[in-house]
Structure 1
């Protein structure tokens, strides 16, 4: 996201094609070539993502090569119904928090949409994008399909998607920042960084969050993304975004936490920080749902009685947090489309019957 750091509305909305007439006798200036090409940046990003995926799959393949499939099957079967029930409960809480992402974005955009539509648009878009990856395209397409029928314009839907994304990133920054500050010693045993270095990184992250809060509180701020200009939430809504983001991530982390074979030597706050870090690596890899990268990070970072037991927890987490919501979202979208088509058919039949009566 490229922020314009407080340019006024007139500057942002100026006609890009408008040019000033050159002064008499002035010489036309040749355009200054850009020093960095967007294509080069995209290529670097793609190479970095590919390298991350290759490293993660190398680590994962070495781990899987040593697994005992019989022990893995036993570990999966050993997952209790109590663990599964709590996992489903925290999954529901996480997706409930996600509906608040869209609700805050709609409030910022001054749009009135029924909560039923907001809940469907948010849940379905996140369930699909979490599983398939590429959220701007997958989640954005689902949001467009749902919100456009509620009368929301495409530009507003795009702004909604970006503002909701800001909520997610704020939550991640807060969890990682506080985790590195408060649990620096515990996290140092996992990431092998010096305690002071973890605290410095945490302080830098929280400092960036504090700077962002001050920046949006001073006056209305606008941001640009791919030619789209929109206003960022002010201090009040931004604090709401942070709270929702933290609650969502803590609920999502709790799904995996309750599925772990053992919590010995691992408190929830430390675990949540490691979980968010693994999610960041998964996002950076651009792999659908961060699959492979997320698992490799957690397998290396978390203590467990055995790799089979930890992998069983990760498999169950995938099922509860990704597969079940994804299938449920497809069912809801199918039912919504089926209901819409049935209503259209019934209305057409009623009109046809009315025409027959008039003809008689």
Structure 2
């Protein structure tokens, strides 16, 4: 790695810029790469300021002085262990940071930003949490490096008019999430030994984001999916089975069978509109931390194992719920007694 610019080199850059020399001319004179000089000058001239060598040298000293400070998560053993505990439970850095603010109000020494946690995971010099965690646990996405912006993704479904009710016919109360009992669902697919796909069904309640995972040992045959979903929702009272929104997959061709068994009508999204089941899409993304895409065989996990994963998701603090969850005191009222006590 090239050494940092010296005070004399910054003086030469200042003289060159004052004389109207180009970046490449100054770089040749210093024996530096043009990109090095360009970055140095851009820190100041991009804001309309004149390049001042003494100010630039002082700013460089301050930057590197800050960089030499030890990371908090490398020096504070108590805070480090709290963060590690959250990561082992597959909480995101944002969830951990919010939980710390709620758990330790007014105690700045027990709080940390989500960016600090990310740096400790991705940058070995800033805390090195990854050394104590597997990549699958530490990084929800499984990536070894940060990605600057997310990429939109969604299932593409063809039009199947025989599926029945369109989402536009769903009760208006389902849209604003004020009334509990409206669900979103989809399949999460995996691999299977010997070829083919295995799958589970995922159900998310729109108001509380409560998750139910449903094993499909008999595969994706629509009659089997309808039976398994009806069994999974049978423990709910009728008022919490107000509607189910699904995509246009053939696995719900037997939706009438499900509705007769549960009294829960099924509505279907428009083609190529996965955001109409946004809560379910988000949940399926979270589940990929447990069940990596293209690498997990769902025939190797039973309903008890799926219930354990669902419990972990349901006890996470959620930003959309003001960092509460179903175990938070006073949250959800009557709904809590069903979602946390009946099952």
TM-score above 0.5 = no
Structure showing greater Rg? 2
Greater percentage in helix:
1
TM-score, normalization: structure 2? 0.23
TM-score, normalization: structure 1? 0.22
Higher relative contact order (CA 8 A, sep 6+): 1
